Chains A and B, each alone.
Chain A
Amino acid sequence: MSTRAVEQWTLEPLVKFVKEAGARLVLVMTSAGQVLAQHGFSRALDVMSAAALGAAIMASTEEIARQLQQPPFAALNHQGEKHGIFLAGVKTGRGRLIALVAYDLDASSLGLVQLFFEQLAADLQAASPKDSVPKQVLAADFERELSESLNTLFGR
């Protein structure tokens, strides 16, 4: 399984996390769903869908928290029969990022993912560029930027 990053500072923390937590699929993305790194995905379409859905879930839960006058939920876990999905936010110098982790219950567990996610969050925070101004993605550039990101993520 390959791990690839659009922004190279995310690569080492992600590789370490995948190895330790036994995660099957991981996306690190902005809250807008722009993917910075991925592990385990083999098709660009899957990355795009997962990123859009993950960002939407985070946005929904943040809004629920806002309506409850609570700070945003720290993490969200959805466990199925064979797989689990873990979604959580990470504060970095690059702004708030979202990590989407899918894990096999055979190979990992919520406890392991939570445990090593704390380390991932700290590693990303430490590795992120400081004082960087988030780049605005204009509609006109969106498709080109998306295409370039996907090419990088799949080594094309």
Chain B
Amino acid sequence: MTATASYGRALDLITRVSGVRGAMLVSAEDGIVVAEQLMEGIKGPAVAALAASLATRLLRAMEAAGVGASLFWHLQAEQGALLVVPTPNGILVVAVAEPDVNVGLVRLELLRAAEVVG
């Protein structure tokens, strides 16, 4: 399977969960979108750049706290949520979801997608 096809499959795992509005693979170092499946209205490049910036700062915070690398983060907002799983090869698997999404299920699919990508 080509990398592009496997990335598409990884995103499919996430976007098939009810309440997920989009999923992306983002280069953590550059903040650039590698692959995406987003509903209309979500600014992919902006989410990618800002999520990657946040990931860099979170990594430093985790290191400073001596708790190791982050495995999963979930930011809950009024009108939705951002869920992210970093992979060892520098890709962030990102999901943008409705506020009442099943977080446990999305986390599971993000981790599965991370395995496919990483």
Instruction: Answer whether A and B are interacting partners.
Output: yes
Chain B interface, DSSP helix/strand/loop, else mixed: helix
Cβ-defined contact, B45 with A114, below 8 A:
yes
| B100: interface (CB < 8 Å) | no
User: B91 CB to closest chain A CB, in angstroms?
Assistant: 13
| B115: interface (CB < 8 Å) | no
| A105: interface (CB < 8 Å) | yes
Which A76-113 residues have C-beta < 8 A from chain B?
A: 79, 105-106, 108-112
Chain A residue at minimal CB-CB distance from B57: A107
> Which size class do A's interface residues fall under?
10 to 19
A111–B53 Cα distance when bound, in Å, is 9
Which residues on the A side are within 8 Å of B30 (C-beta)?
79, 109-111
A115–B56 Cα distance when bound, in Å, is 17
Which residues on the A side are within 8 Å of B29 (C-beta)?
105, 109
| B52: interface (CB < 8 Å) | yes
A112–B30 Cα distance when bound, in Å, is 8
| B31: interface (CB < 8 Å) | yes
A111–B25 Cα distance when bound, in Å, is 13
10 A-B residue pairings within 8 Å (CB atoms) = A105-B29, A109-B30, A109-B49, A110-B30, A110-B31, A111-B30, A111-B32, A111-B49, A114-B32, A115-B45
Sort A-B residue pairs by CB-CB distance and give the 8 closest, nearest first.
A111-B31, A111-B49, A109-B31, A115-B49, A110-B30, A112-B49, A111-B32, A109-B30
Q: Given A108-B53, A111-B49, A112-B52, list of 11 further CB < 8 A pairs?
A: A106-B56, A109-B29, A110-B32, A111-B45, A111-B48, A111-B53, A112-B31, A112-B50, A114-B32, A114-B49, A115-B45
